[in-house]
Amino acid sequence: MPVEAPSAEKLLDMYARMWRIRLFEEQAEYQSSQGKVMGALHTYIGEEGVAVPACAHLQDTDYITSTHRGHGHCIAKGADISRMMAELFGRSTGYCKGKGGSMHIADFQVGMLGANGIVAGGFGIATGAGLAAQLRGSGQVAVCFFGDGAANRGPFHENINIGAVWKLPVVYVCENNQFAQWTPQKDVTLVTDIANMSPAYGIPGVQVDGMDPLAVYEAAGEAIARARRGEGPTLLECKTYRFHGHNFGDPQQYRTREEIAEWSDNRDPIKQLAAHMRDAGILSDEQDADIQNTVQEEITAAVRFAESSPYPTPDELYKDVYSYDIG
Amino acid sequence: MPKKSMRDALREALHEEMERDDSIIVLGEDVITHGGPYAVTRGIDEKFPGRIRQTPISEAGIVGTALGAALCGMRPVAEVMYVDFATCAMDEVVNQMAKVRYMFGGQTDVPVVLRLPSGSARLLAAQHSQCLEAWFLHVPGLQVVVPSTAYDAKGLLKTALRGKDPVLFMEYKRLYTNECEVPDEDYAIPFGQADVKREGRDVTIVATGPMVPKALEAADLLSPEGIEVEVVDTRTLVPFDKATVFASVGKTNRAIVTDEEVKRGGTSAEIASLIAEECFDALDAPVKRVAAAEVPMPFSPELEKLVVPKTEHLVAAARELVG
């Protein structure tokens, strides 16, 4: 069943979301350099063309799970960037009241079941979300984002097998950015095309250029529709690239400047989507500037919100360990 | 009042709660074809079709899937065939299940129950006989429940199935066939309430799970000697009812702490240190611990019997303390 091409309105929304991720991440890195954002910071810059078009097929009632590189998934799923920024600043107004930080942002209101500091930590949660949806017959789907590194962990195998044998409405989306932290994928994996692992589970495997948002939109649309129809999971591999290091401050000795430039100069998903929209007459220079300015203002407001928010008070320490008070 | 085995009491609790709450589902290995290795889930498939899923041998997948379903409106009860196999799902238990409420700032309830057959039985040797309560009680965010009777098992499982937080429900294999009076009427036993199973004035035995019947046996043996033992059954280790334990120690001034876990770093160490920290002035003698030998469980019955703590060890410990 062919996926309908995205409307002009949808494209503009996707484009703005991709910029929201890009500028949020740049700001987070800047604030980290200023010592305002603390702790580990893994940015999604360069991979915007995966989460945004995939989540464009989802409602707030659908679920996603994420990774340690989770800001892009949050924004793609509709999380509020002020509460995200406040979380990075460790403030009480953050999504997790300052108890989670960058690697644990979640927004259950929009079906974002959490970034996860454990590589492959989202597989079980997404598969269980799919089970809940199937048992309710609700038509909800769950999308599990994971990296190429996670494909070498056990939960990849255990949960895809369970999702497949029960025909759960789950789409397993591999963001293959070719590096497991600081180790090139090819050094630790012979089968570097993760989609090729799908026959082992009896489910379709689809590989797509993750730098091409329209290709991802189409492939994810098909996989998500298939899941909604009750036909079970798809393993969707998006070949992508992170333009910045694994973490902010990563000296990136495992790759060359030329390689990074090749991807960021020639294959930037935001530039690719902009070019398509310009060709289609959907995006003028003025609109483009407006979108970027508006997003920049949102980012500025998010930082202001974060900076002006209080830190959590000591009485928060023992709250949320259980549903009941242990203070 | 009818007498029931712990196995039947657990089964009743599951059936009654599934009747009451549509969101309860059951997952695990062989849970349909055999009702699990100890037949606790037998009959659920016939009575609640679609609400029990027989899984592949994938403990990380089972626990992870149960957690995900719990975050999305269901109340999964996952049976991990032996607690030993929970070690294959430690990420899901320790890094995920225990943490999601806190690290997400209280955005979600985590109503998931893991049923974990535990302890020595049937000479199953090193990888099917462990008692791992201490591993779990060390992790904030988990609740650890260890029933010692059929009555307690039913009431505690009901509370587990009505709660909002993860429960590690330790089912001691040796206790499955133990019978006691269990009412047909609905009841639930709150967490964090230890139970004084026998009153006495001379020495307190704080016992967990399979050591409770042994403590009661020891009390029977010691009574004719004039040593009156008070037996406190912890019932839940997290939350832990310090007040009942401390009140008993305050009365008897002597304490033995016992469980079937390996002694080093075991639950008995935690409880003994709590008593030492908070009841020091009440104590007439140092706290004693009776727990398992610090070895992997050997296979041969001649060796296994040297590992598991026995009634006679409790009797000897009590005589030493009182004498």
d(Cα B222, Cα A249) in Å, to the nearest integer?
68
The residue length of chain A stands at 327
Check A165 against B73: CB less than 8 A apart.
no
Report the SS3 class of residue A275: helix
* β-pairing verdict for B113-118 and B167-172: parallel
Residue A75 is predicted with a pLDDT of 98
Residue B323 is predicted with a pLDDT of 83
d(Cα A45, Cα A177) in Å, to the nearest integer?
11
Chain B residues whose C-beta sits inside 8 Å of any chain A C-beta: 25, 50-51, 53, 55-56, 58, 60-61, 63-74, 76, 91-92, 95-96, 100-109, 140-141, 143, 163-165, 239
> CA neighbours within 13 Å on the CB side: how many for B157?
34
Q: Residue B168: enclosing H or E segment and its boundaries?
A: strand B167-172
Residue A2 is predicted with a pLDDT of 84
Q: Residue B15 catalytic? A: no
Question: Which tokens is A95 given?
Answer: 């999504």
Minimum distance, in Å, between the CA of residue A236 and any CA atom of chain B: 20
Q: What angle do CA B74, A54, A152 make, to 5 degrees?
A: 75
| The amino acid at A18 | M
Minimum distance, in Å, between the CA of residue B192 and any CA atom of chain A: 12
Residues of B within 8 A of A121 (CB-CB) are 91, 95-96
By CB neighbour count within 10 A (0-12 exposed, 13-18 middle, 19+ buried), where does A39 fall? exposed
**Statement: residue A1 has pLDDT above 90:** no
Q: What angle do CA A50, A55, A60 make, to 5 degrees?
A: 160
Instruction: Look at the block and give the residue holding tokens 């089964």.
Output: B11
Cis? peptide before A310, omega within 30° of 0:
no
Average pLDDT, rounded, for chain A: 97
Check A323 against B96: CB less than 8 A apart.
no
Check B64 against A63: CB less than 8 A apart.
no
Minimum distance, in Å, between the CA of residue A281 and any CA atom of chain B: 42
Minimum distance, in Å, between the CA of residue B132 and any CA atom of chain A: 21
> CA neighbours within 13 Å on the CB side: how many for B35?
15
d(Cα B246, Cα B294) in Å, to the nearest integer?
28
* β-pairing verdict for B229-233 and B195-198: antiparallel
Check A135 against B76: CB less than 8 A apart.
no
- Return per-residue pLDDT of chain B as tens, 323 residues: 999 999 999 999 999 999 999 999 999 999 999 899 999 999 999 999 999 999 999 999 999 999 999 999 999 999 999 999 999 999 999 999 999 999 999 999 999 999 999 999 989 999 999 999 999 999 999 999 999 999 999 999 999 999 999 999 999 999 999 999 999 999 999 999 999 999 999 999 999 999 999 999 999 999 999 999 999 999 999 999 999 999 999 999 999 999 999 999 999 999 999 999 999 999 999 999 999 999 999 999 999 999 999 999 999 999 999 98
d(Cα B241, Cα B195) in Å, to the nearest integer?
9
Residue B155 is predicted with a pLDDT of 98
Residues of B within 8 A of A40 (CB-CB) are none
Check A165 against B65: CB less than 8 A apart.
no
State how far the alpha carbon of B178 is from the alpha carbons of B145, B231, B296, in Å: 18, 18, 26
d(Cα A208, Cα B268) in Å, to the nearest integer?
56
Asked if A104 contacts B62 with a C-beta cutoff of 8 angstroms, the reply is: no
Check A128 against B51: CB less than 8 A apart.
no
Among chain A residues, CA nearest to B139:
A321
> CA neighbours within 13 Å on the CB side: how many for A272?
21
Q: Classify residue B125 as left (phi > 0), alpha (psi -120 to 50) or beta.
A: left
Asked if A219 contacts A236 with a C-beta cutoff of 8 angstroms, the reply is: yes
- Taking each helix axis from N to C terminus, what angle separates A8-33 and A213-228, rounded to the nearest 10 degrees? 110
d(Cα A257, Cα B224) in Å, to the nearest integer?
85
Tell me the sheet residues that pair with A184: A179
0.90 exceeded by pTM: yes
DSSP category for residue A104? G
Residue B252 is predicted with a pLDDT of 98
Residues of B within 8 A of A322 (CB-CB) are 101, 141, 143, 164-165
DSSP category for residue A312? P
Residue A275 is predicted with a pLDDT of 98
Minimum distance, in Å, between the CA of residue A287 and any CA atom of chain B: 37
| The amino acid at A116 | N
End-to-end Cα, chain A, rounded Å: 56
Check B164 against A320: CB less than 8 A apart.
no
The 10s digit of each residue's pLDDT in A192-251 is: 999 999 999 999 999 999 999 999 999 999 999 999 999 999 999 999 999 999 999 999
End-to-end Cα, chain B, rounded Å: 40
Question: Which tokens is A151 given?
Answer: 């494909």
CB atoms within 10 A of CB B284: 11
CB pairs under 8 A between A and B: 147
Closest CA to B233 of B203, B251, B259, B253: B259
Check A128 against B141: CB less than 8 A apart.
no
DSSP category for residue B91? I
Q: Going along chain A, which residue ranges are E strands? A: 63-65, 142-147, 170-176, 179-180, 183-184, 205-209, 234-239
- For chain A, which domains are there? 8-305 (3.40.50.970)
Residue B171 is predicted with a pLDDT of 98
Among chain B residues, CA nearest to A124:
B64
DSSP category for residue A107? B
The 10s digit of each residue's pLDDT in A122-173 is: 999 999 999 999 999 999 999 999 999 999 999 999 999 999 999 999 999 9
* β-pairing verdict for A142-147 and A205-209: unpaired
Closest CA to A175 of A138, A134, A122, A250: A122
CB atoms within 10 A of CB B298: 17
d(Cα B293, Cα B278) in Å, to the nearest integer?
27
B251-280 CB burial, b ≥16 within 10 A, e <16: ebbbbbbbbbbbbeebbbbbbbebbeeebe
Q: Of A95, A117, A126, which has the smallest distance from its Cβ to B105's Cβ?
A: A95
The 10s digit of each residue's pLDDT in A113-123 is: 999 999 999 99
DSSP category for residue B263? S
Closest CA to B76 of B171, B186, B160: B160
Asked if B27 contacts B81 with a C-beta cutoff of 8 angstroms, the reply is: no
- Taking each helix axis from N to C terminus, what angle separates A8-33 and A269-279, rounded to the nearest 10 degrees? 150
Among chain B residues, CA nearest to A115:
B104
The residue length of chain B stands at 323
- The dihedrals phi and psi of B80, each to the nearest 5 degrees, come to -100, 115
Asked if B79 contacts B36 with a C-beta cutoff of 8 angstroms, the reply is: yes
Q: What is the dihedral of CA A216, A217, A222, A228, to 10 degrees?
A: 120
Which of B34, B128, B138, B313 is catalytic? The answer is: B128
Residue B67 is predicted with a pLDDT of 98
**Statement: residue A87 has pLDDT above 80:** yes
Q: Of A99, A131, A319, which has the smallest distance from its Cβ to B65's Cβ?
A: A131
d(Cα B19, Cα B59) in Å, to the nearest integer?
27
**Statement: residue A327 has pLDDT above 80:** no
Check A136 against B73: CB less than 8 A apart.
yes
